[in-house]
């Protein structure tokens, strides 16, 4: 039968000791944890005697540690080795919340935001360089040994990123070209130079809009879907499983998607040019 957890105070030679007894377990705690924390409030230099504790589990150890948290105690005395070990394990597992400091205001807050922004920018730049280095390394390995290239996913991803994007790219550039032609003709007619509206469309589409619109649509449509796929695989620990099996994620996931985008950009740019000039 479980003995309820309890404690008493003992003063010997001016040393105040808290003597714990009973079962300091989840079933035997009852209100002992709260009473112990209340009794130790404002007490310094208190020792803990756990020699009379019959049983102690993680719940009891947590209650003891939380009750003595932040107080100057001279140590735990007369405790069995397993009890000391349990207290040590629970104490290491407890993450004490740090003290929340007031946030700076005014000019100091501005400096803090600037500093955090620069730090985040440097961190993102470092991550980008690391990613680029891994990608270049994978490209070098595949160039040295073409048998490592995964042609099947490259073709499949090129179809998804390129062929499936033709309608949206063509439609967007067509309407942009139409708007530029309409606005250009309406503005140039005041100067009697409406004949140059064709050249305006040709120069703007060939030099700027075709590749710019294609890059924006690829980044927003295809590249974002690739990032979402890889992020989902990362959350499901599929990438970790690939690394355990000896498969390089950059060769299996990143390089095929990079090659697919690299192959489809010229095709989509050509189609965007035709649609914009139409």
Per-residue pLDDT tens over the stretch 47-99: 788 888 888 888 888 888 887 764 444 455 677 888 888 888 888 887 656 66
Quote the percentage of the chain above a pLDDT of 70.
91
Provide mean pLDDT across the span 249-268. 89
- Inform me whether the pLDDT recorded for 190 exceeds 60: yes
Least confident residue range of 29-43, 121-135, 156-170: 29-43
**3-12, 97-106, 208-217: least confidently modelled range:** 97-106
In Å, what is the CA distance from 203 to each residue of 175, 178, 181, 218, 268? 16, 14, 11, 22, 18
Q: Decide if 138 contacts 254 (C-beta within 8 A).
A: yes
Q: Write out pLDDT tens, residues 198-248.
A: 788 888 888 888 888 888 888 888 888 888 889 899 899 898 898 889 888
The pLDDT, as a whole number, for residue 209 is 82
Once rounded to an integer, what is the mean pLDDT over residues 158-187? Answer: 86
pTM: 0.56
If you average pLDDT over every residue of the chain, what do you get? 83
Own/partner contacts of 174-181, CB < 8 Å, gap of 24 or more, are 174/275, 174/276, 174/278, 176/205, 176/209, 176/213, 176/276, 177/201, 177/205, 177/209, 177/275, 177/276, 177/277, 177/278, 180/204, 180/205, 180/209
pLDDT at 77: 62
Residue 133: pLDDT band by 50, 70, 90 thresholds? very high
Confidence of residue 123 (pLDDT cuts 50, 70, 90): very high
Highest mean pLDDT out of 33-42, 118-127, 158-167: 118-127
**pLDDT (0 to 100) of residue 74:** 47
**HSE (CB half, 13 Å, CA atoms) of 182?**
6
What's the confidence (pLDDT) of residue 76?
53
Q: What is the pLDDT of residue 29?
A: 83
Q: What pLDDT, on a 0 to 100 scale, did the predictor assign at position 135? A: 92
Q: In CATH, what class is 6-93?
A: alpha beta
pLDDT at 126: 96
Residues of the chain with CATH 3.30.750.24: 6-93
What pLDDT does 44 receive?
67
Residue 252, pLDDT > 50, answer yes
Percent of the chain with pLDDT over 90: 13
More confident residue, 2 or 40: 40
């Amino acid at each position: 039968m479980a003995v309820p957890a309890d404690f008493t105070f003992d003063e010997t030679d001016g040393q105040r000791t808290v003597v714990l007894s009973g079962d300091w377990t989840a079933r035997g705690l009852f209100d002992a944890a709260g009473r112990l924390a209340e009794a130790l409030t404002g007490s310094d230099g208190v020792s803990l005697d756990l020699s009379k504790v019959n049983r102690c589990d993680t719940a009891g150890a947590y209650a003891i540690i939380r009750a003595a948290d932040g107080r100057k105690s001279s140590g735990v005395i007369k405790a069995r080795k397993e009890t000391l070990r349990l207290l040590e394990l629970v104490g290491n597992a407890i993450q004490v919340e740090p003290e929340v400091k007031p946030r700076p205001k005014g000019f100091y807050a501005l400096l803090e935001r600037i500093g955090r922004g620069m730090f985040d920018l440097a961190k993102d730049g470092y991550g980008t360089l690391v990613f680029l280095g891994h990608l270049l390394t994978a490209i070098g390995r595949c160039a040295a040994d073409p048998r490592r290239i995964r042609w099947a996913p490259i073709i499949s991803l090129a179809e998804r990123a390129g062929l499936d994007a033709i309608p949206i790219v063509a439609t967007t550039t067509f309407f942009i070209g139409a708007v530029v032609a309409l606005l250009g003709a309406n503005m140039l007619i005041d100067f009697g130079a409406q004949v140059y509206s064709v050249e305006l469309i040709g120069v703007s589409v060939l030099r700027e809009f075709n590749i710019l619109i294609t890059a924006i649509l690829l980044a927003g449509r295809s590249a974002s879907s690739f990032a979402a796929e890889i992020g989902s695989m990362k959350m499901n620990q599929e990438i970790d499983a690939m690394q355990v099996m000896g498969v390089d994620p950059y060769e299996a996931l990143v390089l095929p998607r990079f090659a697919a985008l690299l192959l489809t950009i010229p095709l989509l740019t050509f189609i965007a040019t035709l649609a914009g000039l139409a």
